[in-house]
């Protein structure tokens, strides 16, 4: 398999997605073309904590209250009224995964210290202007801590968790997988003191557990709730649509016998994962939409 014709990504006007085109050529040992696939790859900026914070301002019933913070924001920081000046908060930096670059903070001093350290680090690294021009410097999101999160009983203890719901998109139709996954923190929940973040991080921490929602009677209504939630988040016709338009991954495959048949239609296909928190009122809160999720359990 070889890759050719990689086009430069073009920024979409809504600033939430960029596209690039890749052509994959599959040939046999004699270099004869067996099949070709043209893939339009969409980068979901919604995986960015910074852009998700922007989206939260448009749809506060779906996302936790959040504030997008540019990496070079002027310090000292002044917080708007809607996010409050009293913690706790969760400070997240783009580029982190598996629980990295996630900080539970309880004071303005902690926030400003982390932002300042990030600024000093970026300024000390080479090619600052080039990286800034290309948008390669990670920004931040400050999220209001959800204090009334639902806890799950498991093996005699209570755990924090988040839900991963998989969505298959084929030809502009969305299909919600009816077996949502549960990801438990690696240690039982004790209290909202953050000196042990292993009880708070539910994704990627060492020893974190992955189960199915069907194993918990407390979550019997979850799948039904997910249907309406997914429609609101994923439906391009839903309001507000801008962060979610033009973000499908289009892929097609043609074998040699139909390779040059103009009538052959390649349908868009994609698989996404919504990561969600659940509060004690069984409200769902979107953490991110992952455009390249792991589907193993």
Compute how many other C-beta atoms are within 10 angstroms of the C-beta atom of residue 226.
Answer: 22
Same-domain pairing of 76 and 56? no
Same-domain pairing of 139 and 225? no
**3-state secondary structure (DSSP) of residue 47:** helix
Which of residues 97, 117, 145 is at a domain's end?
145
The answer to whether position 92 is within a domain reads yes
Q: What is the mean pLDDT of the chain?
A: 74
Same-domain pairing of 54 and 93? no
The arithmetic mean of pLDDT across residues 109-137, rounded, is: 93
What CATH number has the domain bearing residue 109? 3.30.1490
Q: What pLDDT was estimated at residue 228? A: 82
Same-domain pairing of 154 and 283? yes
Task: Categorize the per-residue pLDDT at 12 as very low, low, confident or very high, splitting at 50, 70 and 90.
Answer: very low
* φ/ψ bin of 76: left (φ > 0), alpha (ψ from -120 to 50), beta (otherwise): beta
The arithmetic mean of pLDDT across residues 250-266, rounded, is: 42
- Rounded to 5°, the CA angle 5-294-233 comes to 85
| pLDDT surpasses 90 at 279 | yes
The answer to whether position 21 is within a domain reads no
The alpha-helical segments, DSSP class H, found in 125-254 are: 128-133, 222-234
Structural domain of residue 88, as residue ranges? 65-145
* Stretch among 124-128, 190-194, 264-268 having the lowest mean pLDDT: 264-268
Same-domain pairing of 60 and 70? no
| pLDDT surpasses 60 at 253 | no
DSSP characters over 28-46: -TT--EEEEEEEEEEEEGG
Rounded CA separation 206/185 (Å): 9
Compute how many other C-beta atoms are within 10 angstroms of the C-beta atom of residue 112.
Answer: 15
Same-domain pairing of 141 and 154? no
Q: What pLDDT was estimated at residue 96? A: 74
| pLDDT surpasses 50 at 43 | no
Task: Select from 239, 237, 287 the least CA-distant residue to 59.
Answer: 239
Same-domain pairing of 187 and 74? no
Q: Which sign, positive or negative, has the C-alpha torsion 37, 46, 203, 77?
A: positive
Which positions ≥6 away from 182 have C-beta within 8 Å?
152, 161, 162, 163, 164, 210, 211, 212, 213, 215, 216, 219
Residue pair 12/215 in contact (Cβ under 8 Å)? The answer is no
Where do we find the tokens 């430069």? 8
Q: What pLDDT was estimated at residue 197? A: 85
| pLDDT surpasses 80 at 173 | no
Q: What pLDDT was estimated at residue 230? A: 80
| pLDDT surpasses 70 at 246 | no
Same-domain pairing of 135 and 245? no
Where do we find the tokens 């997914």? 230
Same-domain pairing of 52 and 110? no
What CATH number has the domain bearing residue 235? 3.30.470
Same-domain pairing of 88 and 124? yes
Where do we find the tokens 């009983």? 153
Q: What pLDDT was estimated at residue 203? A: 75
Rounded CA separation 124/186 (Å): 35
Which of residues 164 and 18 earns the better pLDDT score?
A: 164
Which positions ≥6 away from 173 have C-beta within 8 Å?
none
pTM here is 0.74
Same-domain pairing of 93 and 226? no
* Stretch among 26-30, 31-35, 100-104, 244-248 having the lowest mean pLDDT: 244-248
Q: What pLDDT was estimated at residue 206? A: 60
Task: Categorize the per-residue pLDDT at 232 as very low, low, confident or very high, splitting at 50, 70 and 90.
Answer: confident
Token duo for residue 248: 């499908």
| pLDDT surpasses 60 at 277 | yes
Q: What pLDDT was estimated at residue 175? A: 77
The answer to whether position 240 is within a domain reads yes
Question: What does the pLDDT look like over 201-230, one tens digit per residue?
Answer: 887 656 678 899 999 999 988 888 888 888
Task: Categorize the per-residue pLDDT at 95 as very low, low, confident or very high, splitting at 50, 70 and 90.
Answer: confident
Backbone phi, psi, residue 133, to 5°: -65, -40
Report cis status (omega within 30 of 0) of the bond before 76. Answer: yes
Same-domain pairing of 122 and 242? no
Overall number of domains in the chain? 2
Rounded CA separation 206/187 (Å): 10
């Amino acid at each position: 398999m070889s890759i050719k014709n990689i086009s430069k990504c073009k920024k979409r006007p809504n600033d939430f997605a960029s596209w690039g085109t890749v052509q994959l050529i599959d040939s046999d040992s004699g270099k004869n073309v067996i099949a070709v696939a043209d893939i339009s790859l969409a980068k979901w900026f919604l995986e960015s904590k910074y852009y998700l914070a922007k989206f939260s301002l448009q749809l506060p019933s779906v996302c936790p209250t959040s504030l997008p913070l540019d990496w070079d924001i002027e310090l000292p920081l002044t917080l708007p009224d809607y996010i409050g000046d009293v913690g706790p908060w969760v400070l997240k930096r783009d580029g982190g995964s598996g629980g990295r670059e996630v900080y539970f903070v309880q004071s303005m001093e902690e926030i400003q210290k982390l932002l300042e350290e990030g600024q000093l680090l970026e300024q000390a690294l080479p090619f600052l202007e080039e990286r800034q021009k290309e948008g390669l410097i990670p920004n931040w999101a400050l999220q209001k801590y959800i204090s009334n999160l639902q806890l799950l009983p498991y093996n005699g203890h209570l755990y924090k968790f988040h839900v991963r719901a998989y969505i298959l998109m084929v030809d502009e139709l969305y299909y919600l997988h009816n077996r949502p996954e549960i990801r438990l923190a690696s240690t039982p929940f004790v209290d909202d003191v953050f000196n042990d973040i292993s009880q708070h991080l539910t994704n990627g921490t060492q020893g974190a557990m992955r189960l199915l929602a069907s194993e918990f009677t407390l979550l019997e209504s979850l799948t039904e709730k997910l249907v309406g939630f997914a429609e609101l988040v994923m439906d391009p016709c839903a309001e507000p649509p801008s962060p979610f338009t033009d973000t499908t991954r289009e892929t097609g495959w043609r074998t040699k016998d139909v390779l040059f048949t103009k009538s052959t239609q390649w349908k868009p296909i994609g698989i996404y994962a919504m990561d969600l928190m659940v509060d004690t009122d069984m409200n769902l809160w979107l953490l991110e939409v992952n455009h390249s999720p792991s589907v193993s359990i």
